[in-house]
Chains A and B, each alone.
Chain A
Amino acid sequence: MSLEGKKPVTLEDLLRLKRAERPAPEFWERFDRELRAKQLAALVQKRPWWRGLTPSLTGFRRYQIPLGAAAALVITFVTVRQQQSTSATVAPALPRQTQALSTEERSEPVRQSALEPLERSARFHPQVDETLAAVEAPVGVEPARSDFSEVIPLFAGTIDALSSDDASPSARYIAANLAAAESASTRVLLGKIGAFEARAIIARNSAVEPLQQMASPSEIRLARYRSPLVATIAGEPADDTGERMARRLSEERLYDQISRIGARGDRVRVRF
C-alpha cells in the first residue's frame, strides 16, 4: 500500500511523539512512596552549617561580580604590601652591608689595623718610625683612591728591609704585619674595581687581625730571657729544658729571679 496522500510528517510531529512516552500508572504509586520516604529522610537529615548562610547571602547575588572583583583587588593589594614590607626589612640591612663594604669604610679599618702593629713595633725597631711617618696620615682624612697606589710601593720596600734574615724577631713580626696589610690593601684595590660580591669577600677576609699574628710583649720578654736564664737556674741544657722551665715559671717569679741574679761580663751576682 503506498504512502502517498498521507499526511506529511514534520519534525514537530516527531518531537510531539515524545509526549506519548509516559510511564504506566503503577510507576506513579511507587514514585509517591519513594517521594514520601525521601521527604521524611530530608526532615531528619542534618543540614550543613553553611546552608543557613545561603538565605542571607541570596540578596548579594546581584552583586557577586563587583564583590568578587573587590575581593580580588583586596587580596592583590595585601599581597603586594606584604612583599613590599618584606623587601623593606631586607633593604635597610643591605645599605649597612654596602656601607661596610664601601671604599671609605673598608679602607679605614684595614688601614688603621695595619697601622696598629706598626705603631707597637715602632717602640722596638726604629726603622718603622720612618715607615709610619710616611704612611700615617691624619686619621680624620679619608684617603683618596690614589693614596693606596702610593702606599703599596712604600710598604713593599719596608717589608723587604724588615724581613731579611739578620733582622730581629720583632722586625720579622713587623714585616709579617706589613705583608698582611699589603695584601689587605691589594684586596681593597681589587674590590674597588670588582663587583659587590668581591667587596663582600674582601670584607670577610679583612677580618684577620694582624695582632693575631704578633706575639704579645710578655711573650717576647719570656722568649728573650728564656734560654740563658733558665739554663742558669735549672742547670740544664738550654735547648732541652728551656721551654719546660719557661712554662713552669710565671712571669712574676721570673722577674723575682732576675732581680736576685745579675750577670755582667765575667761576674755573676746573687742577692739573698
Chain B
Amino acid sequence: MDATKVLGKTLVVASPERRHEADADLVIVRRVQAGDVAAFDQLITQYRERVFGIVYNLTGNREDAADLTQDAFIKAFQSIHRFGGHSTFFTWLYRIAVNSSLSHLRRSRLRSFFSLERINTEDPVAREIVVALTDKTGVDRDAYVRELQEKLNDAMQKLSIKHRTVVTLFEVDGLSHQEIAEIMHCSVGTVRSRLHYAKQLLQAELQPYMRR
C-alpha cells in the first residue's frame, strides 16, 4: 500500500526516505487499529526523540518537554482509530505534539522556567561549529558553549509561538515547507514568510556569535 496515495490524494513527502518511512508507519498503524496495541510501541520508539526535540525547543524546559511528549503519545494512542491516512502518521503525530505544546505555552505564558539540556559536543556537527566559534578548550570552552546555548534559547523565546514553531521544524528538525504547512494548517507561503521574519529577528540577537 502506497502511503503517498491515499483516498485519491497525493501526499507531498519531502524525500524518498520519508516516503519509505510513511509507508512503514501506515502498516504499523493498521495493525494497531486491528487490535495489536503492542505495535504502537514501535511507533513510540521510532519518534520519541524527534517529538521530544520539537517540544523541548518550543518550551525550553526539559521536564515540561518530557511530560508533553508523553501526553502527545497517549493522545495519539487514544485517537489512533480516527487516523484515516489523509496525512502521514509522522505529520499527524507532530501536529498533536505541536498543539499540545502551544496549549501549554498559552497556559503558562506568565511563568517560564528554562531547563536546558547539555549540548553534546561529541556530536560531529556540533563540534565543528563550536571549533569554528571559539578557540577555547576545556572548561572555558564548556562555559562558552553554555553561554551560547542560553543566548540561543533567549533569542528563540523572544519569538512568537508560531515563528518559534516554524524555525524549530525547519532548522532544528529539518522538515520541508510543505510538511510544516501540513502540520501547522497554513499555506507554504505563510511558512516562508514566518521563517524569513523569524530569522531576521534571530540574526539581530545573535550577531555577536556569528562570523562571516
Contact with A along B129-156 (1 / 0, CB 8 A): 1111111000000000000110010001
The residue from A9, A16, A19, A28 contacting B133, defined by CB atoms under 8 A apart: A9
Pair B125/A19 contact, Cβ less than 8 Å: yes
Given A14-B209, A19-B53, A21-B116, A31–B82 Cβ distance below 8 Å? no
Pair B126/A20 contact, Cβ less than 8 Å: yes
> For B49, B82, B131, B211, which residue has the most chain A Cβ atoms within 10 angstroms?
B211
Pair A21/B117 contact, Cβ less than 8 Å: yes
Given A9-B210, A15-B167, A17-B126, A58–B82 Cβ distance below 8 Å? yes
Pair B171/A16 contact, Cβ less than 8 Å: yes
The residue from B132, B172, B199, B203 contacting A18, defined by CB atoms under 8 A apart: B172
User: Taking the complex as formed, is B48 at the interface, i.e. its CB lies under 8 A from any CB of chain A?
Assistant: yes
Given A3-B135, A39-B77, A17–B211 Cβ distance below 8 Å? no
User: Taking the complex as formed, is A69 at the interface, i.e. its CB lies under 8 A from any CB of chain B?
Assistant: no
Interface size on A, residues (CB 8 A): 31
Which chain A residues in 14-51 approach chain B with CB under 8 Å? 14-23, 27-28, 31-32, 34-35, 38-39, 42
User: Taking the complex as formed, is A235 at the interface, i.e. its CB lies under 8 A from any CB of chain B?
Assistant: no
The residue from A3, A20, A21 contacting B211, defined by CB atoms under 8 A apart: A3
User: Taking the complex as formed, is A141 at the interface, i.e. its CB lies under 8 A from any CB of chain B?
Assistant: no
Given A31-B66, A42-B78, A11–B135 Cβ distance below 8 Å? no
User: Taking the complex as formed, is B187 at the interface, i.e. its CB lies under 8 A from any CB of chain A?
Assistant: no
Pair A38/B70 contact, Cβ less than 8 Å: yes
Residues of A within 8 A of B57 (CB): 18, 21
Pair A23/B206 contact, Cβ less than 8 Å: no
**Majority secondary structure of chain B interface residues (helix, strand, loop or mixed):** helix
Shortest beta-carbon distance, B135 to chain A, in Å?
5
Given A16-B125, A31-B48, A23–B119 Cβ distance below 8 Å? no
User: Taking the complex as formed, is B62 at the interface, i.e. its CB lies under 8 A from any CB of chain A?
Assistant: yes
Residues of A within 8 A of B66 (CB): 27, 31, 34
Residues of A within 8 A of B44 (CB): 32, 35
Interface size on B, residues (CB 8 A): 50
Q: How far, in angstroms, from A17 to B131 measured CA to CA in the complex? A: 12
User: Taking the complex as formed, is A6 at the interface, i.e. its CB lies under 8 A from any CB of chain B?
Assistant: yes
Pair B74/A23 contact, Cβ less than 8 Å: no
User: Taking the complex as formed, is B17 at the interface, i.e. its CB lies under 8 A from any CB of chain A?
Assistant: no
User: Taking the complex as formed, is B120 at the interface, i.e. its CB lies under 8 A from any CB of chain A?
Assistant: yes
Residues of B within 8 A of A18 (CB): 57, 152, 156, 168, 171-172
Q: Which residue of B lies closest to A34 (CB)?
A: B70
Q: How far, in angstroms, from A31 to B41 measured CA to CA in the complex? A: 13
User: Taking the complex as formed, is A87 at the interface, i.e. its CB lies under 8 A from any CB of chain B?
Assistant: no
Q: How far, in angstroms, from A18 to B198 measured CA to CA in the complex? A: 16
User: Taking the complex as formed, is A10 at the interface, i.e. its CB lies under 8 A from any CB of chain B?
Assistant: yes
Given A22-B53, A34-B66, A16–B135 Cβ distance below 8 Å? no
User: Taking the complex as formed, is A8 at the interface, i.e. its CB lies under 8 A from any CB of chain B?
Assistant: yes
The residue from B69, B77, B202 contacting A11, defined by CB atoms under 8 A apart: B202
Given A20-B125, A21-B56, A23-B117, A12–B171 Cβ distance below 8 Å? yes
Pair A20/B206 contact, Cβ less than 8 Å: no
Pair A17/B206 contact, Cβ less than 8 Å: no
Q: How far, in angstroms, from A7 to B211 measured CA to CA in the complex? A: 8
Q: How far, in angstroms, from A38 to B168 measured CA to CA in the complex? A: 27
Residues of B within 8 A of A20 (CB): 119-121, 123, 125-126
Residues of A within 8 A of B202 (CB): 11, 15
Given A7-B132, A31-B48, A15–B82 Cβ distance below 8 Å? no
Q: How far, in angstroms, from A248 to B174 measured CA to CA in the complex? A: 118
Which chain B residues in 30-75 approach chain A with CB under 8 Å? 44, 48-49, 52-53, 56-57, 62, 66, 69-71, 73-74
Pair A15/B152 contact, Cβ less than 8 Å: yes
User: Taking the complex as formed, is B109 at the interface, i.e. its CB lies under 8 A from any CB of chain A?
Assistant: no
User: Taking the complex as formed, is A1 at the interface, i.e. its CB lies under 8 A from any CB of chain B?
Assistant: yes
User: Taking the complex as formed, is A13 at the interface, i.e. its CB lies under 8 A from any CB of chain B?
Assistant: yes
Residues of B within 8 A of A58 (CB): 82
Pair A22/B152 contact, Cβ less than 8 Å: no
Pair A13/B78 contact, Cβ less than 8 Å: no
Q: How far, in angstroms, from A76 to B63 measured CA to CA in the complex? A: 48
Give 8 nearest A-B pairs by CB, closest first.
Answer: A20-B126, A15-B171, A21-B117, A20-B123, A7-B132, A35-B70, A20-B120, A20-B119
